[in-house]
Amino acid sequence: MRSGKAAKRLLNLTGGVVTAGKDWTDDGEVYEVHSRKRRAATATRPVPIPPQFVRVLRAHAGRFGVAPDGRLFQNQAGNYVEAAAYGITWSRARGYVLTRTELAAGLAKRPYDPPACRDLVLAPLGR
């Protein structure tokens, strides 16, 4: 997140990390870092985010810090978060935020369900 009044509501995305497996990467690592598709390696993409999300991310960074490469999310060893951890964390978040009826209906069953993402992020903040 950039600093300054006008930039407080932007995330600057620089690329992504792909889990490929040690047998499929050039350097034998599990992960490959890529720039955004069809973009220069240094290109960024500013993405506007709501003020509530800014507060959540700043609180997270204040509590857990950021990785040396600027990532907001890292495991306890400072490495990339394993894919399985997302499902475990998502399941816990659903149980914490949703009612029994919403859980039974399958609301927010997958992290990429758009309305579910918004609701799970904003619910602890009082929507």
pLDDT at 8: 63
Residues of the chain with pLDDT under 50: 1-4, 6-7
- What does 40-89 look like in DSSP terms, one character per residue? -TT--EEEE--HHHHHHHHHHHHHH---TT--S---TTSSPPPHHHHHHH
Listed in sequence order, the residues at least 6 apart from 40 whose beta carbon sits closer than 8 Å to its beta carbon are: none
pLDDT at 60: 93
Span 36-60, pLDDT tens digits: 777 777 788 888 988 888 888 999 9
- Distance between CA atoms of residues 98 and 6, nearest Å: 34
